[in-house]
Amino acid sequence: MSETPSTDPKSIVVIGAGIVGIASALFLQRDGHKVTVLDPRGIGEAASFGNAGTIATTSCVPTARPDILKRVPKMLMDPTGPLSIRWSYLPRLAPWLIDLVRNSTPERILANAQAKTALLNHAMAAYNELIAESDAEDMVVRNGILQLYETDASFNASARERALMQACGHKLDILPGQEIRQMEPALATGFKHAVYLENHATIKHPGDLTKRFAALFDSKGGVFAREQVTGLSKNGSAWAVSTDKGSHVADRVVVAAGAWSREGARMLGIRMLLDTERGYHVMVPQPDPALKRPVLLGDHSVFLVPMAHGMRVTSGVELGGLELPPDYRRIRAMVPFAKRVLPHLDETEMSAWMGFRPSTPDTRPILGESPGAEGVFFATGGSHIGMTLGPIMGKITADLVAGRDHGFDLEPYRPDRW
């Protein structure tokens, strides 16, 4: 992005202070705009707080796939499986689920993976710009991740995912069993296969990195207010943004409200199939010896991530909307699996968390100007890779606001594609 301030500075309200909102605010600020970020929760306190923290530059494989759909009944029956549904939410989720099934044809799978890859290929460079500018290199570890498999069967079952990643041009290395413990001496023995994704990086604390970026925004005169947006309406050539505490007038509005962004779409009369895949983590103490990088136990979809304040154990998806209370039983049941990976793990729970991935059925983000509402831009729908895509989505949003050529085909991410 050019460092030259835009010749036409505007007042801009960004709704949401997650990674997408804060990254958007920073890139917009570079263009000389006067930017205000609104969020009732604080900075980086929602999905951008509790995720697994991987900058997952090769994670292009969509959720909607025939092999996954075939396994759904089995996954739902298994109390430690990677998928659960809160049945009372099912009627509201039905249109999203139907679209998910529609997206499981081979053609759509490839198109969705390619659409994500187009953004993923630029994700690290956009991060690096913000990391350098906010002097945050100490918050990132750049040594890849390992996916582990205990059996030939589970390794072979994930062959199609690897083929898709390779078809999209992503690099992965398959390690023979004996090399696995050379890379990670803390691991248990007995893993038969591992996939090494060298180009992934890990954020030591995703919420704190979002806050570090926000500190840069603040130091350059950006305004943050703890306000919840309740309405959006046209006010001449500007937009009136109503909140629980008052109102703001803005030339441009960016809706980066994560899984809540569909409320913004509703205010503008747009049908948006954005829902949430709820996710959980528990924090346990850092084992000694520690893991050097995140490991995914492919057989059970358990992800162990060494972080600044301990080991984060994350897993799976719960379909249950934004309102139902958390149910920590499943994530707590995963901790013994983590012990299978790391025999020295202390299973004492330090904290437990639940958050809301902003998820679309085609797993493509939502990015672009809102049709019929000139001057309102959506930047959301990052699903499982929203932490990774935050900076590149923010950068493209700033380009859109400036009317600059961003070099991307944004058709796959249209906010009104449903």
Ligand X SMILES: Cc1cc2nc3c(=O)[nH]c(=O)nc-3n(C[C@H](O)[C@H](O)[C@H](O)COP(=O)(O)OP(=O)(O)OC[C@H]3O[C@@H](n4cnc5c(N)ncnc54)[C@H](O)[C@@H]3O)c2cc1C
Q: Which residue from 30, 65, 300, 357 is in contact with ligand X, where contact means CB under 6 A?
A: 357
Footprint on residues 107-166 left by ligand X (CB under 6 A): none
Amino acid occupying residue 368: G
Least distance from ligand X to the Cβ atom of residue 231, Å: 9
Tokens of 417: 């594609």
Cα separation, 224 vs 27, in Å, equals 15
Amino acid occupying residue 359: S
Q: Which residue from 46, 126, 130, 201 is in contact with ligand X, where contact means CB under 6 A?
A: 46
Instruction: Select from 169-177, 178-186, 265-273, 350-358 the region that touches ligand X (CB under 6 A).
Output: 350-358
Is 317 a binding residue for ligand X by CB under 6 A? The answer is no
Is 276 a binding residue for ligand X by CB under 6 A? The answer is no
Is 207 a binding residue for ligand X by CB under 6 A? The answer is no
The answer to whether the peptide bond before residue 289 is cis (omega within 30 degrees of 0) is: yes
Cα separation, 38 vs 107, in Å, equals 39
Least distance from ligand X to the Cβ atom of residue 331, Å: 9
* Nearer residue to ligand X within complex by CB, 191 or 224: 224
Question: If DSSP codes are grouped into helix, strand and coil, which group holds residue 415?
Answer: coil
Amino acid occupying residue 322: L
Footprint on residues 287-316 left by ligand X (CB under 6 A): 314
* Nearer residue to ligand X within complex by CB, 54 or 104: 54
HSE on the CB side for 4, CA within 13 Å?
6
Cα separation, 386 vs 389, in Å, equals 5
Is 384 a binding residue for ligand X by CB under 6 A? The answer is yes
Is 56 a binding residue for ligand X by CB under 6 A? The answer is yes
Is 255 a binding residue for ligand X by CB under 6 A? The answer is no
Question: If DSSP codes are grouped into helix, strand and coil, which group holds residue 242?
Answer: strand
Is 15 a binding residue for ligand X by CB under 6 A? The answer is yes
Least distance from ligand X to the Cβ atom of residue 62, Å: 14
Rounded to 5 degrees, what are φ and ψ at 148? -110, 145
| DSSP annotation of 235 | E
* H helix or E strand, kind and range, residue 341: helix 329-341
Q: Which spans of this chain sit near ligand X (rule: CB under 6 A)? A: 15-21, 38-41, 45-48, 51-54, 56, 228-229, 256-258, 260, 279, 281, 314, 355, 357-358, 380, 382-388, 390
